[in-house]
Amino acid sequence: MNHLGIDIGGTYIKYALVDQDFHIIKKWKKETRKMNTKDDFYDSLCQGIDMQHIDYVGVSAPGIIDNDSNVLSKAADTVSVMFQTNINSEMSQRLFKPVFAMNDAKAAGLCELRFGNAKGSRMSAFLIIGTGVGGCVYQGENDITGVNHLAGEFSCLPFSMKDGKMMSLSHYASMPALVDIYNMKVSTDQHLQFGKDICDLYLKGHHLASESIEEWCQNIIFALNTMVICYNPEIICIGGGISEEDWFIEKIQTLFNESLPQRFSHLITTKIERCAYQNDANILGAISNAYERIKL
């Protein structure tokens, strides 16, 4: 029997068939469409999946999700209808197999702890950059959640004040944030829609794209320094599609080392790495979680 992994994102829903040794056999995805009701959303999510040779399902999803898979907060607009639903219940009654869901950043962290770049670490943190900003902190293989499951939710990390309103990290360090930074520097007819396009211009030496990437990366560095001071992890792994780019990881590593506070720099040994499993980390972590849960 194989396992099914599903990664629910604000832009795409990704699926993977995974064998008993946690090797991905097949991957596919579809666009995340905004639905009016939770039933329409879960029907679409589960539609067309052949469950004949699948024993259980591991799901990663955005937002604050408790240990029983209740969705406690809204995330991207396209998936906000999941708020106050129970993912395990909704999906298992449609797929007729056990389903175990967890937060997407925590899933990525679990994958890296068990198989990837954080394996063996005593304290680790994770920053997942995509449509939003995900994050988590692990002590060993135990995720630090706090009393209300908010610990490590770096998307909500206070970053600045604007017109008397607290602005969070997701407004400054996500891929849409990069697009906003760039579009503020160019005329309306030069606006771009995707962060990838700005990265492509940056690699070609485009001046305003370079300025935008620099500003955006400095926002990420601010977050990394905050994570170091709050948790002092051995390693911080960066995930999301952008983490696949060598130039990005190298730039972040350089900027991070240059930014360390002088009075603490001799003490800080935190390493910055990418998630070794990159865009597969969420799915593999979710399946690993499901594997542990099914044994209980």
* pLDDT, one tens digit for every residue, the chain (296 residues): 999 999 999 889 999 999 999 999 999 999 999 999 999 999 999 999 999 999 999 999 999 999 899 999 998 899 999 999 999 999 999 999 999 999 999 999 999 999 999 999 999 999 999 888 989 999 999 999 998 888 999 988 999 999 999 999 999 999 999 999 999 999 999 999 999 999 999 999 999 999 999 999 999 999 999 999 999 999 999 998 899 999 999 999 999 999 987 787 788 999 999 999 988 999 999 999 999 998 77
pLDDT at residue 6, rounded to an integer:
98
Residues in contact with 81: Cβ distance below 8 Å, sequence separation at least 6, in sequence order: 34, 35, 36, 37, 38, 40, 41
Q: How far is CA 67 from the centre of its chain?
A: 18
Q: Which domain holds residue 203?
A: 119-275
Mark whether 256 and 170 lie in a shared domain. yes
CATH code of the domain covering residue 24: 3.30.420.40
Phi, psi for 216 (deg, rounded to 5): -65, -45
Pairing relationship of beta strands 271-274 and 235-239 according to DSSP bridges = parallel
Rounded to whole angstroms, how far apart are CA atoms 97 and 100? 10
Mark whether 269 and 287 lie in a shared domain. no
Mark whether 153 and 212 lie in a shared domain. yes
Tally the domains of the chain: 2
Mark whether 140 and 245 lie in a shared domain. yes
Mark whether 137 and 186 lie in a shared domain. yes
Mark whether 82 and 126 lie in a shared domain. no
pLDDT at residue 279, rounded to an integer:
82
Mark whether 188 and 256 lie in a shared domain. yes
Detail the DSSP E strand segments found in the chain: 2-8, 12-18, 24-31, 54-61, 99-103, 123-129, 133-139, 142-143, 158-162, 165-168, 235-239, 271-274
Mark whether 39 and 90 lie in a shared domain. yes
Mark whether 125 and 230 lie in a shared domain. yes
Residue 114 belongs to some domain of the structure: no
User: pTM for the whole thing?
Assistant: 0.90
Mark whether 40 and 14 lie in a shared domain. yes
Mark whether 14 and 87 lie in a shared domain. yes
Mark whether 142 and 178 lie in a shared domain. yes
Which amino acid belongs to residue 65?
Answer: I
